[in-house]
Structure 1
């Protein structure tokens, strides 16, 4: 048995200044909605929407409330700090995880208010926090059930000038491949975990997959971030309709990037608020 984990719902970037980050991600070619604020937590965020997943950029609004680890992460730097997996029912996933003997917390309600020009969106979620030993290579992870999915995406929010349509892959660094493989077999099932000599691939049946690599491979790629420790979420790849058009937009907006082969672009982390971000031809 597992915790009934679904697809990658949204990776999360932690940043110190959401207003500056919003302007920078506009330069990267994204449509960036206004800042939303969690009512129960002390965090606030920007959510950049795609048809079936999205990118959350999270910062601190009220340091006296629960911050889900954002504060401690930002002491080390900015960048990718978490992954949320979609679930159909937070309660069912919690019970399945509990029955499987997993370290898993009861579902908690979370409300995010997003003020638009003509109205306020009142978005609701149920989230399940996972024990740290269940997600090596991802820094933080949780399960997320959307209760207001019909209002999460608004007209025009997915028409990104850079042509992004979805996440393609997340990459994380692990120090112990055997332990990591065993952890994910417990969480998502053996059929979804492929162990190879120098990496682990996690397949969720749809959406982005996850590649777990070693520190040496992360260094080779230029994605090593040793300040984050031995296991961490290193990078994310976004799929675009036309990589040449994406490259042209980045050049026009003064964004520094490298061409890593046909149809693959890597943005310099300094131009993505610390995130190691790739664009790849879909």
Structure 2
């Protein structure tokens, strides 16, 4: 475990209307947590919790620099805006990354208040926005969950589509091969593997694919990605599901547009998921 980093902690999907996004992802077969509010940021979210990672649907609802940044993003499009990298010791991780030559700022406190099965709870985090040179092409944060015991309940992790974790996240980058040294500095030597023009980053939990825009369909065959945002951008999210057949039946019942290949992989176009191309793969 390099730099006290455990791997991917969560992916953030920026949306304009949080209620509408919650309805959309419920239709895709996900169970969502109650709405949580970040008073420090002026943002709010619903989360899709898995055993070790999760997805955050996030919208700007108040004042603050984070809210304004989110509004500027969603004024152009919705979709994956960033990733969070997890650590059990955020202070040690920051010092280790600094020794590696990265200018990482001091951590800040963040809270999220929401209703849980055990009553109203305030979840506490320590987080810091990593500098652009740490994970070039992908906006990332380092996060430590201070109150992890309050975040997961069995009913929150029971998803009708059978999803149980993030398999991979794909970003389009103009020249991925030039970035392996930077990503290795964060996740450890040889964590970034170059194959042809695509870099696969092994984070310790979940993969990050960095691929040129013209080659993204080699990673995601038959994907409906005709209108990609300009690089660099996060464009795809692959999720593990217990049974792709069961997930496909649910999507069909809910009249979701999707395709499925001979191996069972489900592909949901961005038009059905607030700008995110979603793959569901067998776990």
Please give the TM-score of this superposition, normalised by the length of structure 2.
0.92
From 185, 210, 213, the counterpart of 1:212: 210
Structure 2 residues not aligned, in runs of 5+: none
* Residue 178 (structure 1) shift: 3.1
Aligned: 1:190 with 2:189:
yes
- Aligned pairs, number: 279
* Residue 3 (structure 1) shift: 4.1
* Residue 75 (structure 1) shift: 2.2
Alignment partner of 2:239: what SS?
Answer: strand
Comparing 39-48 and 70-79, the one that deviates more: 70-79
For residue 40 of structure 1, what is the aligned residue in structure 2? 40
Residues 202/247 of structure 1: CA separation in 2 closer, same or farther (3 Å cut): same
Alignment partner of 1:133: what SS?
Answer: coil
Contact 1:173 1:213 (C-alpha < 8 Å) held by counterparts: yes
Contact 2:45 2:56 (C-alpha < 8 Å) held by counterparts: yes
| Structure 2 CA distance for aligned equivalents of residues 63 and 42 of structure 1 | 5
Contact 2:197 2:212 (C-alpha < 8 Å) held by counterparts: yes
Aligned: 1:234 with 2:242:
no
Contact 2:172 2:235 (C-alpha < 8 Å) held by counterparts: yes
- Give per-residue Cα distances to partners, 1:132-170, cap 9 Å, x unaligned: 1222342x1111100011110023111110000111111
For residue 29 of structure 1, what is the aligned residue in structure 2? 29
Comparing 230-239 and 68-77, the one that deviates more: 68-77
Please give the TM-score of this superposition, normalised by the length of structure 1.
0.93
Residues 204/116 of structure 1: CA separation in 2 closer, same or farther (3 Å cut): closer
Residues 277/177 of structure 1: CA separation in 2 closer, same or farther (3 Å cut): same
Runs of at least 4 residues off by over 6 Å = none
For residue 270 of structure 2, what is the aligned residue in structure 1? 269
Alignment partner of 1:123: what SS?
Answer: strand
